[in-house]
Every structure is written in structure tokens, then in C-alpha cells.
């Protein structure tokens, strides 16, 4: 698993090296089963997480490959990065909440292509014996069956939240390194809690999770080290001290007062 991250300071006037949190950080310990990145939008959480995924050669759950020009700024940051591992593995994946719809559409296209291929082969072999037809159609039918079984039908016909949970339940079952960028994006609070349970079980089974999130529910993952991204760098912070956690508590405890201020 990933134990430590080191960043060499390049030209700090260039993006992404001029992001304040990254500019003031040279090393980061990642030696806990769960590491959580918190901070405002634009603070560098996602950029650093993507660079870690690229450097770790993680599988990207998206149509965009991590090695594509789409991530060129991430590549520059990753090249200035050194990751220390105890055991290196490609098991697990990098997941971006924003990119997941692209992935769902990719699955839909894959299914449509397989169905079209199945029909073409069925027409071509319609006058052959049942045995010959089964040999010709078998591999395609097997792929369609696997797609259906693994993802519990067509993810694109579900709500985004249902699709996310279905994916996580299908794919989060083996020990590995899981890098998750705002996976709570379409999830209700109850479904966020279900994801918290999945991540807890995953960590207890020996996996490593590095998570960027705005969700106070996911921030509460047991035993996690939490890093806050600010203009002064990346520093550990206690759950109770996170600004979004404090605001959520205050709002829920006195929401009528907040509404009266509007």
C-alpha cells in the first residue's frame, strides 16, 4: 500500500504547482488504512488525488484514461512526486464522482454493441445446427450475462445514487488501493451512510482508501487521518474541527435561526 508521498517543488508560478496547499507541502504520510482530504473547492484535493492515482498506475473508472492529455496538468504534478509503498498493487481503482456518468454511458454503449453483434451472428448462423450456433453465440452471450450480473442490470436506468451504490457494491470486494474523488456527489445522506459502511468493511479487510470529500458523513470514517487543504499547506485536522462539520451541526441544531437570517 502507499505509505508516504513526497513532492519536489518545481516552478511555483505554474499550475498546478502554484496551488497554495501544494506549494507549501513537501511530504505527506499516508500510512493509515483511510486517509481523507477536506477543504474548499479549488484547494487542490482532487488534483493531488488524481496525481496519486496516475503515479500509482491505478485503473480509472471512467472513459478518460488517466494517461490521456485530458490529465496533462496532473501528469506534470505526478512527475514531481515520489510514492513510497510497502506493497505495490493495481488492485482497486480511481473513482471520480463527476466522471461516473461517463462510465455509465460507456457501459450502455458496450451493451448495445454486444447486442448488435449477437444479432448479426444469430442471423449469420440461423441455418446452422443448434450446436454450431451455440459455439458462435456463446462468447457474446457470456459477456452480456457478465455485464448484467456484475452491475445488476443497466446502471443508466437507475437514479445516479442507485447507480453509484450498485457500482460500489459490485466492485469494492477485493483488497487494493481505492482512490475516491467526491463519491458522495449524487448520494442522499442515507446512501452516504451505506457507502460509509462499505468503505469501513473494505478498510477492515486490508484495503487502503484515500478519499476527497465534502460529506461530513464520510469524513466520520473510523480511524481515518484527515488532512485539510488550506493556503498554508496540507495539515492534519480533527473531525470536530472541520468547518463543514461544525456548520452542519450548528445548522441542524438551530436551523430556524439560520432561516430567519435570510
Residue 195: count of CB within 10 angstroms of its CB: 25
Read off the pLDDT of residues 42-98 as tens digits, 9 standing for 90 and up: 999 999 999 999 999 998 886 667 888 878 889 999 999 999 998 888 899 999 887
Q: What is the percentage of the chain residues whose pLDDT exceeds 90?
A: 62
Whole-number pLDDT of residue 54: 94
Whole-number pLDDT of residue 51: 95
How much is the average pLDDT of 11-23? Answer: 87
**Is it the case that residue 178 has pLDDT exceeding 80?**
yes
Read off the pLDDT of residues 134-167 as tens digits, 9 standing for 90 and up: 999 999 999 888 877 766 555 556 666 777 788 8
Q: Rounded to the nearest 5°, which phi and psi values hold at 229?
A: -95, 115
Q: Residue 228 pairs with which residues in a beta bridge? A: 38, 235
- All cell numbers assigned to 189: 445522506
pLDDT band with cut points at 50, 70 and 90 for residue 225 = very high
**CA neighbours within 13 Å on the CB side: how many for 65?**
4
Amino acid at each position: 500500500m502507499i505509505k508516504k508521498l513526497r513532492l519536489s517543488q518545481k516552478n511555483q508560478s505554474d499550475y498546478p504547482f502554484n496551488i497554495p496547499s501544494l506549494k507549501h507541502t513537501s511530504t505527506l504520510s499516508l500510512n493509515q488504512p483511510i486517509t481523507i482530504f477536506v477543504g474548499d473547492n479549488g484547494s487542490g484535493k482532487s488534483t493531488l488525488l488524481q496525481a496519486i492515482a496516475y503515479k500509482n498506475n491505478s485503473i480509472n473508472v471512467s472513459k478518460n484514461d488517466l494517461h490521456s492529455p485530458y490529465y496533462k496538468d496532473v501528469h506534470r504534478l505526478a512527475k514531481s512526486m515520489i510514492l513510497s509503498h510497502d506493497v505495490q498493487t493495481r488492485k482497486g481503482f480511481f473513482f471520480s464522482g463527476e466522471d461516473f456518468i461517463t462510465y455509465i454511458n460507456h457501459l450502455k454503449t458496450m451493451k448495445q454493441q454486444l447486442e448488435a453483434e449477437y444479432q448479426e451472428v444469430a442471423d449469420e448462423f440461423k441455418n446452422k445446427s443448434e450446436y454450431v450456433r451455440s459455439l458462435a453465440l456463446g462468447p457474446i452471450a457470456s459477456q452480456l450475462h457478465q455485464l448484467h450480473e456484475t452491475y445488476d442490470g443497466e446502471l443508466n436506468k437507475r437514479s445516479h445514487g442507485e447507480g453509484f451504490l450498485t457500482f460500489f457494491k459490485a466492485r469494492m470486494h477485493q483488497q487494493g488501493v481505492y482512490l475516491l474523488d467526491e463519491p458522495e456527489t449524487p448520494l442522499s445522506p442515507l446512501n452516504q451512510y451505506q457507502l460509509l459502511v462499505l468503505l469501513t468493511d473494505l478498510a477492515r479487510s486490508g484495503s487502503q482508501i484515500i478519499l476527497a470529500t465534502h460529506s461530513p458523513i464520510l469524513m466520520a470514517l473510523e480511524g481515518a487521518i484527515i488532512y485539510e487543504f488550506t493556503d498554508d499547506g496540507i495539515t492534519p485536522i480533527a473531525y470536530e474541527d472541520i468547518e463543514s462539520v461544525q456548520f452542519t451541526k450548528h445548522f441542524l441544531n438551530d436551523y430556524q435561526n439560520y432561516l430567519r437570517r435570510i
